[in-house]
Amino acid sequence: MARHALRLPSFDEMKTMAQEQPEALEDLRIRLTEEVIEKASEASKRRLRGLVFVIEAERRRARNPLQACIRLSKLMLDSAVELQASLNQLKCNERARAPTSTTQPSARVLTFQRGRTGA
């Protein structure tokens, strides 16, 4: 059965939902999250479900929405720092494999005798 993609409401619509219909906004969040996971490759689905689990755990541990936001921001920042460290390590590994520029090229120099030109 083909499913239609959900439409993301505008910011103002979501603000109104948060104030007047928080359950509907939460339902939308869950459905959009599930839609993203379903569209992902099979190889990515398990990782995405694990990420959703971690996010939900942090949201439950938070005492209020602001603390949840701060916790999730920290998770994203930690992930970005980890990615940066991995990229730096990759760059270092590539430099170590690259030939050093101090190696002097060698060649055999041939001397030619000047030929006589004459008439």
Q: Examine the pLDDT at 1 and tell me if it is beyond 50.
A: no
pLDDT value at position 28? Answer: 96
The parent domain of residue 59 ranges over: 11-96
Q: Is 89 among the domain residues? A: yes
- Give me the count of residues in the chain: 119
- Does the pLDDT value for residue 45 go beyond 60? yes
Whole-number average pLDDT of the chain: 89
Position 4 in a domain: no
Q: How many domains does the chain have?
A: 1
- Which of these, 30, 23, 17, 35, lies nearest to 56 by C-alpha position? 30
SS3 per residue for 23-60? HHHHHHHHHHHHHHHHHCCHHHHHHHHHHHHHHHHHHH
d(CA 14, CA 20): 10
Q: Is the dihedral of CA 14, 20, 24, 30 positive or negative?
A: positive
Q: Which of 16-20, 41-45, 82-86, 109-113 has the lowest mean pLDDT?
A: 109-113
